[in-house]
Structure 1
């Protein structure tokens, strides 16, 4: 990478290359939300410890309040001292495991518990169709990439499609690309343009059929299967909902404003009860040149600088400084919906759910059939949202359910926080309506403006600025909603920006936290909620960390990114940044939500050198866990690769001379070893 403004300024194991490619160096630019002020009483001390807060209410022992729940970890793989050993078996049934010890971040291996093994199901470049060329990164070709598994997999689901459990469907999105480690330097401008077109094709989605011999056996993908599909940065979508076709979405290539091409920056997502896949278009701003003075440009981080991807060199729509394509950035930043059961279907972009940097979208259906979609805007000091569908979910009525996200109302969260003596809940909150009956209720903004410039609308209504709310998921058993706030090193640091508050309790929040919401009467369409802090992450020995009230040894955990649940309702957390001072590999962690072990963080796996853990899928009945291993070896180059994942394990050694010698982002399955 030529421009790395975050070099030397990142924390933990975060790469400056990742900052440049994934989020367009967001932390090197001014915070897009220049309008925020504390929306409820700031807590006086910038160093407020959640433990001390609870201890003041008399709910935790003095030793826990002082930070003695776990002793310091020795470097790398040392076990916590005192109390329960890290080798104590956790979990139940087919997914019992002995937690692994923390792994140094430069370790180029997938580390799994004793008695478990891992294998890649799909890797970047794997051929998906009978006519797909074999993987050959020495000859970049966009047409070939459109027929192969894409790059940097993030949201993933493994859907079992037959009663015998031997057939399935893998659905995965592809968030971004890293040209420097994917392809060698080119000898001509024409060759470089083909590399750029290939990177556009490596974005999007892969939908791939799976098969296995029996339950609890490893899945393999089926090349040329009927449902296999690639969706790329060029695939035609259709706009849906109240803003479809409005002037703000029209371009010279699409004067109807109805048919955007491609999906980019797809991060996390969710699988709906009606069998479709939702995904959030997150850091779309990094793909466009745009007029920095246009409405919404500053709020969405758009500028007129040349982009690191250089897509504007091969497709004029990525240069939004021109009149013909001034609205093209408005056509990204949506929740997309894809029907994996119909490879001929046109994927949708849902305007009713608003436009911002969507990390994810997850659906909850309550006992009365009310449908809610929970969404986080992954930016420093941005907001938590909810969409409530106009119509109710009807079991088995798929045609009806496929239209549920077309109409409804959009809300943004406002938190209030006062410590209660009984500590039953830390605070309360409300969902503030941005639309009612599908129409704007934001003063001075039309419905289409609210939906296209949702951040501006939420600013007007005093929503609570959060510490990068990423994945937001309802627990399928309890209905409680868990909000992963990854980090925010600007909180209480930058002039004019909010300081710590009850829902975001730490100054210069490097390690992130998780908020637990309980909606009024446990209804998906509720407009009020109570909330608590479930985890305040970091090195367990640091002041200010908190682990759900658990007072024994726990694994260090930082920067919670994606979350998932097992069949017992336990929370599983994948991370995007090790505790800032420990230099550990990212991983996947299991945490009980109830009982005596509520908050007991145990590490299940760690990912290879410089990689991030994404898209966890927990099939505990099958004894399987799946993760997407994203950006291994991110800091490397074609001639200096820094990871050999995953092929070095499959081959028993590093690739031989003349073979591909770099990393390939992949979907990994972890299962118990067979006797």
Structure 2
């Protein structure tokens, strides 16, 4: 019998979610200390919409921008296989673990470093501030400028994508989200009450996305950036975007700077994302609410937009961040953004057909007839998760016409929200996490249609709301149709081997408290500190089905706690895990989970878990990140694992003069978010 891995027993304080107060302050605008936006009792019967929304019923479709890309990129990666194509298991029982997970687990620790298994090497691929565009200066943290930052790798990398680069040996395009900035750790002597215009403009430039070509070493998994490559690109908080889909041109999206309602400046708080089978990347705008000041509308309260000044005080330097002056600017954020990394001159777009909420990500699979299906979670306590089913088929090829067609795929289709029903008596779901008598937390579910967009217009399926309102105030639509309140739905990913869909639910400290929703079979623990992972099986394994079965694949926490569950695998043989956030799959169909705000005393990390076979539920920790950091954007290839190390050193009381971490460059340097690559030193595949 394997010796159970130890837990580190240290006090993490009383701050919700295991994060530092500093992280909550800059990342999500102290969401945990504000009233939960979803105070409804589904089905929603409130009058918040009355008198507050526009009443237009005819939608306009936006024009498609021209883009060109390499042919056939990832064209089959996201397609769901048929049930017959997926064997019951590809693993024979061994003493080494499931194929892809045969490594010695990293023990829980609080080391100020990226800690990897024995026999593995690592390198920092790219850091905040490294020059990527032609003419960009070397990073000097004491002499930062907005112009320089707009040419350098941005701050707080999150989602990562690696796309092939045909014709360039051993090179790929790395695309990274830059979720948010922490000015206290960026600027020496930062005065939060009186930021300078230069500091604010640097922060604008440090948000957004980076696309940078990277080159691998032939004998290792080491990666390094290729500066000044013609495909390298920065997208910032001031880059022009095209608003597309059914809400484009809506009165709800028109501003004094953009009376057309079709052009937005910038993207903010990009969290997780996804890659598409047609060779683009998707990026979810998450906690956009924290950037906007002085709201007084009931609809804004449902999105957590404050009534006073913001933390960063951008509203003092640009009126579009002041809701009192520009009431519709906030309606232009909270969407899924699409970028064509193969065309550095293309205009990125915001897809209104995928709804407006705090998108944790957007992952894609194809229906049997080639239509896109996009899954996305709304990262808020007691909010919902969604699915978009496109109505247009993807085309293969690399011509301009084909690229234009594929870039319009996410503008037409139906948006759905999930409603789950448990199959156990309510009395057996007592809030402790004790399994019901049938031995599983499971049940059935349905995708409830909210609105359908076509090339000619859009139709609402929600009584009392126009289609335009559904796509702009999607949370309200979910309230009205009785969607299931979840424990912070984050990343959602379909397994490319089986078609099953996995939903990371990070935590919910308010579950079961007075005045809030109680437990249900999908969210079975009161004051849920550690989160869970939901497994969905679409009916007939069809991505466009409106019915599904579900079960809790993992109930996270200390394996010694009877309230935890690891798909039935012996709990004395798994690593402890808390607060699942981002998910990804390796070439063998194992699920890899990164954590955010773990509450077991160890630093956050990356874990792999078998999803099928005799070792289904066997979970092993692959790495941990430095002090104060979060593990983001995992990519697991045959011979390389990539993670984004976000907000290292973000510990209460830390600043430039008194850093809590010295990662990645050691004492006397600024702590810098960065991307890390990990590989086997013997050159063999990961975990075999």
- Please tell me the TM-score bracket, short chain as reference: 0.7 to 0.9
Separation in 1, partners of 2:633, 2:579:
15
Deviation at 1:519, TM superposition (A): 0.5
Deviations 1:23-65 (A, max 9, x none): 11111111101113499xxxxxxxxxxxxxxxxxxxxxxxxxx
Count, aligned residues? 601
Work out which of the residue numbers 633, 658, 666 in structure 2 matches 1:640.
658
Deviates more, 1:558-567 or 1:184-193: 184-193
Separation in 2, partners of 1:674, 1:534:
33
Aligned pairs (5 A) from 1:15-414: 15-37=20-42, 89-90=96-97, 92=99, 96-104=102-110, 107-162=111-166, 166-185=170-189, 192-214=196-218, 216-292=220-296, 294-322=297-325, 325-396=326-397, 397-414=402-419
Deviation at 1:13, TM superposition (A): 3.9
Cα distance, 1:139–1:191 mapped onto 2, change above 3 Å: farther
Separation in 2, partners of 1:120, 1:673:
16
Separation in 2, partners of 1:30, 1:251:
29
Deviations 1:57-112 (A, max 9, x none): xxxxxxxxxxxxxxxxxxxxxxxxxxxxxx9744547x7421111112xx211100
Contact persistence 2:273–2:283 (CA under 8 A): yes
Q: Which residue of 2 aligns with 1:63?
A: none
Contact persistence 1:90–1:99 (CA under 8 A): no
Deviations 1:512-546 (A, max 9, x none): 00000000111111111000110000011112100
Cα distance, 1:549–1:176 mapped onto 2, change above 3 Å: same
Please give the secondary structure, in 2, of the residue aligned with 1:508. coil
Please give the secondary structure, in 2, of the residue aligned with 1:451. helix
Contact persistence 1:417–1:426 (CA under 8 A): yes
Contact persistence 1:609–1:642 (CA under 8 A): yes
Separation in 2, partners of 1:413, 1:317:
33
Deviation at 1:370, TM superposition (A): 3.1
**Residues 1:521 and 2:521 are matched in the alignment:** no
Work out which of the residue numbers 587, 593, 600 in structure 2 matches 1:573.
593
Deviates more, 1:479-488 or 1:385-394: 385-394
Q: Which residue of 2 aligns with 1:651?
A: none
Please give the secondary structure, in 2, of the residue aligned with 1:556. coil
Q: TM-score, normalised by structure 2?
A: 0.84
Deviations 1:387-431 (A, max 9, x none): 010112233344322211011110000001113987698200000
Q: What is the root-mean-square deviation of aligned Cα atoms in Å?
A: 2.1
Separation in 1, partners of 2:187, 2:644:
21
Q: Which residue of 2 aligns with 1:4?
A: none
Cα distance, 1:194–1:276 mapped onto 2, change above 3 Å: same
Q: Which residue of 2 aligns with 1:480?
A: 500
Contact persistence 1:153–1:174 (CA under 8 A): yes
Aligned pairs (5 A) from 1:595-614: 595-614=613-632
Contact persistence 1:125–1:135 (CA under 8 A): yes
Deviation at 1:154, TM superposition (A): 0.2
Separation in 2, partners of 1:189, 1:415:
45
Please give the secondary structure, in 2, of the residue aligned with 1:647. coil
Q: Which residue of 1 aligns with 2:554?
A: 535
Cα distance, 1:99–1:331 mapped onto 2, change above 3 Å: same
**Residues 1:594 and 2:612 are matched in the alignment:** yes
Consecutive unaligned residues in structure 1, runs of 5 or more: 1-6, 40-86, 649-653, 656-660
Please give the secondary structure, in 2, of the residue aligned with 1:289. coil
Separation in 2, partners of 1:411, 1:215:
46
Cα distance, 1:165–1:486 mapped onto 2, change above 3 Å: farther
Deviation at 1:130, TM superposition (A): 2.9
Work out which of the residue numbers 10, 14, 20 in structure 2 matches 1:9.
14
Separation in 2, partners of 1:357, 1:530:
25
Separation in 2, partners of 1:603, 1:32:
34
Q: Which residue of 2 aligns with 1:507?
A: 526
Contact persistence 2:161–2:176 (CA under 8 A): yes
Separation in 2, partners of 1:215, 1:463:
50
Cα distance, 1:91–1:169 mapped onto 2, change above 3 Å: farther
Separation in 2, partners of 1:127, 1:608:
24
Cα distance, 1:554–1:440 mapped onto 2, change above 3 Å: same
Consecutive unaligned residues in structure 2, runs of 5 or more: 1-11, 45-93, 425-435, 684-688
Separation in 2, partners of 1:213, 1:592:
29
